[in-house]
Structures are given as structure tokens and as C-alpha cells.
Amino acid sequence: MDEYAKSDLGIIKQDRDTFYSYVKILNEYGIHARPAVMIVKLYSRYDAEINLYNSKNNALVSAKSIMGIMTLEANQNAIIRLDAKGNQAKPALEELVEMIQDGFGE
């Protein structure tokens, strides 16, 4: 995975057929069960493959797996990379970035 600049956090970029963004986890408890369910529900609404990557533990998980997301170890202040491919990749990623930046409404 490539490096990011702090100014790139939340910015959606494209590399060939993949949209990606780096985001900082803001909510106090990180990505726990409730946010994981929110991510999976978002995934189910779009025609896109979405993955989350945490470079701290080299965890790469699909946004369709609640258990996978919870093993990501995305604690408060963690920087994770979001990747999306498919017909609705960009709008899916836009909504996911917004959800994360909003702290999952917590």
C-alpha cells in the first residue's frame, strides 16, 4: 500500500479501476460491533467490492464481513485505507468516508 499525507485524509483518489481513501478513525471505541454492522449494511447497498486495510497489523478485510471488520483493530486515531472497485465504487466510498469522518454517529 502506498503512503499518504495527512492532508490526503478523507480525499478519494483513483488508481486505474480502484478508488481509495485514507481515513482516521475518530470515535472513542474505534470500529466495534455497531460500526461494523453499519459498514456491512452500506456494502450491501452498492454494486462494489470494498476492502479496509490497516497497515499497523497488515490486516486486509472485506466490508461484507462483520467479523473481519472487527479483527481490523481499527482503534481510535488509527489510519486505515479504504479501497473500492465496481460500478458504484465511488459513491460507496464517498458514503463510507463520510460515515467514518462522522464517527459513525457516536
How do strand 18-24 and strand 79-85 relate by DSSP bridges?
antiparallel
What's the rounded Cα separation, in Å, for the pair 88 and 75? Answer: 28
Entry field: residues in the chain: 106
Active site residues: 32
